[in-house]
Amino acid sequence: MTYLAAMARTAVLGYWPFSPPPSTDSMTTIYGIKACDTMQKARAWLSGHGVACDFHDYKTQGVDRARLEGWARQVGWAVLLNRAGTTFRKLPDADKADLNEAKAIALMLAQPSMIKRPVLEAEGGLLVGFRPEAYAARFG
């Protein structure tokens, strides 16, 4: 292939024809808190298995209502709410009483530490929490 033909093909393909195509793994995003031990285990598993992903720290970057509501539709708000964490346990009893989806989402938006970690968005759906066997089933 001549240089000019390669340049023309680059314009069509979007990458240099003598290089491998760009990875589509960037469609995988892991959401959580950087300092969380479970997050570190999940990120180490992904890295060790060659799964490229973006990291979104929802403690520093927040999470938008639409995304959180979408997750709740996929897995249920009760799966997303981290009731075992210190942040939730320290809430006044009135805030913990009579939980429903709207109240849980409002709590998680106000204090993202109450969102269970990690939340992994990947082709094929959403994984909440880290279980190596679930990650292996998803990524092979």
Of the residues 30, 36, 51, 68, only one is catalytic, namely 36
53 classed as catalytic: no
Q: From CA 125, how far away is CA 9, in angstroms rounded?
A: 34
Q: From CA 75, how far away is CA 55, in angstroms rounded?
A: 20
**Contact call for residues 59 and 112 (beta carbons, < 8 A):** yes
**Contact call for residues 88 and 114 (beta carbons, < 8 A):** yes
Q: From CA 87, how far away is CA 82, in angstroms rounded?
A: 9
**Contact call for residues 74 and 126 (beta carbons, < 8 A):** yes
Q: From CA 120, how far away is CA 53, in angstroms rounded?
A: 9
Which residues are annotated as catalytic? 36
